[in-house]
Amino acid sequence: MRATGLKAVALAEEHFDAHFPGNPVLPGVCLLEGLAQTAGVLIERTVEGRQLALLTTVERARFQAFARPGDQIRLDVEIESLDAGIARVRATATVADKTVASARLTFKLVSPDHLIPPVYQPFWRQMIDTWLGRYLELSDE
């Protein structure tokens, strides 16, 4: 299973104030976060929402080039393995077909019941659906 996400880098993003003045570079942790979030969506869709993916390990993280304001980052993730409680994902971020970052991500899969009290689960599910672009349909009534 594979998924692709896109991130448009804007100069208005807060971290550019200090990273680095006069030479804005997207922090590597932001690249890893984008890859992890894209992988999280892929895993959520793959397990049909039955489990939550919690990032536990980042291995072999490599940063080969910079992402700067005005760039569009392509976030490609592929599930290498998905077992009972663990998902391993290969992740690559590219700008204009040039690799800027890559890593292998490991996620622990847990039941939502272990993290979210039952009374909050409907709100959590609505938030996840909105995050994934699945919006509630409004009626005219």
Instruction: Say whether pLDDT at 30 is over 80.
Output: yes
Where in the sequence numbering do the catalytic residues fall? 19
Q: What is the mean pLDDT of residues 18-46?
A: 94
- CA-only gyration radius of the chain, Å: 17
Q: What is the mean pLDDT of residues 101-106?
A: 98
So what's the pLDDT on residue 24? 94
Amino acid in position 115:
L
The span from the CA of 48 to the CA of 45, in Å, is 5
What are the structure tokens assigned to 31, written together? 């690249």
Instruction: Say whether pLDDT at 141 is over 80.
Output: no
Instruction: Say whether pLDDT at 61 is over 80.
Output: yes
**Paired strand residues for 52:** 110
So what's the pLDDT on residue 140? 65
So what's the pLDDT on residue 138? 64
The answer to whether 122 and 71 have CB atoms below 8 angstroms apart is no
User: Is-cis flag, bond preceding 20, omega within 30?
Assistant: yes
What are the structure tokens assigned to 36, written together? 């992890």
